[in-house]
Chains A and B, each alone.
Chain A
Amino acid sequence: MSELAASKPETTEDNNNDNDSLTPSTFLKTVLGRPVTVHLSSSSRYTGILSCLDGYMNIAMEQTEEYEGGQLKAKYGDVFIRGNNVMYIATEKKIK
């Protein structure tokens, strides 16, 4: 029991240190302006340059290509994706 009690303050300390470590939102800041593929829960994918995103995970992208079942379906200049549809945001080395 005494061990448990001793470990508690340590945990708090760790959480404080987490401020400078990698969190999902710091990752998202680093991928702004970079090529990404956004996977929607409907299984369609969007590849393009990530312009910006907000707390709802709404996404604005540039030079976007839409893929459904691996096939290119459409191209958009700018595109807004409503956050609730987003499943993954994957980084890309370059646009196909």
Chain B
Amino acid sequence: MSSISAPLDLIRLSLDERVYVKCRSSRELRGKLHAYDQHLNMVLSDVEETVERVEVDEETDEVIVKKESRSVDMLFVRGDVVILVSPPLRTT
């Protein structure tokens, strides 16, 4: 972390690595980061998108959390939906 002087450096160091992105409306993305800019617009490849849906069973009133996943080859993410970006765990 010593080479980091601005938060965006963390993203720069994750280029060409797989990253985890938490987005608005309970969406999570995992994919390889190809490009980003100051808005956090990002281009990811081999992406797995996970959407979490909360449903209430009408008979039992049970809250059911459903996770749906899908794969996308290449994905452009608009920066304003991004909440959090986490690079892969580094051993250094």
Please list the residues of chain A having a beta carbon within 8 angstroms of any beta carbon in chain B. 40, 42, 46, 51-54, 58-60, 62, 76-82, 84-85
- B-side contacts of A82, CB under 8 Å: 40, 79, 82-85
* 13 other A-B residue contacts (CB within 8 Å) besides A51-B10, A60-B1: A42-B83, A51-B7, A54-B6, A58-B6, A58-B8, A60-B4, A60-B10, A62-B1, A76-B20, A76-B86, A78-B1, A80-B85, A80-B87
User: Does B89 contact A80, Cβ atoms closer than 8 Å?
Assistant: no
CA distance A46 to B80 in the complex (A): 19
Interface size class of B (residues with CB under 8 A): 20 to 34
Chain A residues in 8 Å Cβ range of B4: 51-52, 60
Q: Which 5 A-B pairs have the closest CB atoms?
A: A60-B7, A58-B7, A80-B85, A76-B86, A77-B89
Query: In the complex, A85→B23 CA distance in Å?
Result: 11
For B7, the chain A residues whose CB sits under 8 A away are 51-54, 58-60, 80-81
B90 within 8 A of A: yes
Consensus secondary structure, chain A interface: strand
* Residues in chain B near residue A77, CB distance under 8 A: 86-87, 89-90
Interface flag for B60 (CB, 8 Å): no
Q: Is B11 an interface residue (CB 8 A)?
A: yes
Contact A79 B83 (CB under 8 A): no
Report chain B residues within 8 Å CB of A76: 20, 86
Q: How far is the CB of B5 from chain A (nearest CB, A)?
A: 6
For the complex, give the distance between the alpha carbons of A80 and B85 in Å: 5
Least Cβ–Cβ distance between A64 and chain B, in angstroms = 8
Contact B1 A80 (CB under 8 A): no
A-B contact pairs, 9 of them (CB 8 A): A52-B5, A52-B7, A54-B8, A59-B7, A76-B20, A79-B10, A80-B85, A81-B83, A82-B79
